[in-house]
Structure 1
Amino acid sequence: MANARRGEVEATLDGQNFCLCLTLGALAELESAFGASDLVSLAERFDQRRLSSRDLLRIIACGLRGGGHAASDEEVGRMKVDGGLAEYARIAAALIAATFGEGEAANP
């Protein structure tokens, strides 16, 4: 079960429940992937709400790895969710909100 106080989010991918978390290591991975120089730059990028499908995939994959699940970006790209694209976006937004604060991203 996800612990919101630790920035954890629950998600069902391929019919399996997972606990996702953007740990410090996961955030460092996202900084590198998005070319962000620091956490403020990364948060500003997320605040723009202009994320590609590749961005959603990376955020979810980093959240899975941060939650202790060994899943590559390619494996996550093949996972299915009920609700399609809207659910992928909801999972990513919930991770961002749990990590950077409640803000508007908490209610995508």
Structure 2
Amino acid sequence: MENRWRGEVALVVDDQTHNMRLTLGALAELEEELAEPSLMALVQRFETGGFSTHDVLALLCAGLRGGGVQMDPDTLAAAQIEGGPMRAAQAAAELLARAFVVQS
């Protein structure tokens, strides 16, 4: 079960539920992979809709790594994601948003 307060987002890949989260290390790797100069630029890329399918795969893989699952983009691209591409994009958006929720 996902823990929203930890920034987790559940994703079902090949009938197995994974709790993804973006750690600081995963965010740094994502910046580098997507060639963004800063964390804010990375967030803007997704907020403005200027992202690609490759970006979604990279974000999901970073979240999986942050949740303790090693999966490369090629493996994830070939996997069956419950809910299809729309759920994958939604999970990526949730993942990014939850990484920046300030708990009060």
Q: TM-score, normalised by structure 2?
A: 0.89
User: What's the offset of the Cα at 1:12?
Assistant: 0.7
8 A contact 1:19–1:64 mirrored in 2: yes
Q: Which residue of 2 aligns with 1:9?
A: 9
User: What's the offset of the Cα at 1:6?
Assistant: 1.3
Equivalent residue letter for 2:51: L
1:43 maps to 2:43: yes
Report how many aligned residue pairs link the two structures.
Answer: 102
Structure ranking higher on relative contact order (CA contacts 8 Å, 6+ apart): 2
Equivalent residue letter for 2:48: Q
User: What's the offset of the Cα at 1:34?
Assistant: 1.6
1:94 maps to 2:94: yes
User: What's the offset of the Cα at 1:38?
Assistant: 1.5
- The 5-angstrom pairing of residues 1-108 of structure 1 reads 1-101=1-101
8 A contact 2:11–2:82 mirrored in 1: no
Q: TM-score, normalised by structure 1?
A: 0.86
- Provide runs of 4+ in structure 1 moved above 2 Å: none
Q: Where does the alignment leave 5 or more consecutive residues of structure 1 unmatched?
A: 103-108
Superposition RMSD in Å = 1.5
Residues 57-102 of structure 1, C-alpha deviation per residue, up to 9 Å, x if partnerless? 1111110011001112221111112322111111111101111349
CA distance in 2, matches of 1:58, 1:18: 16
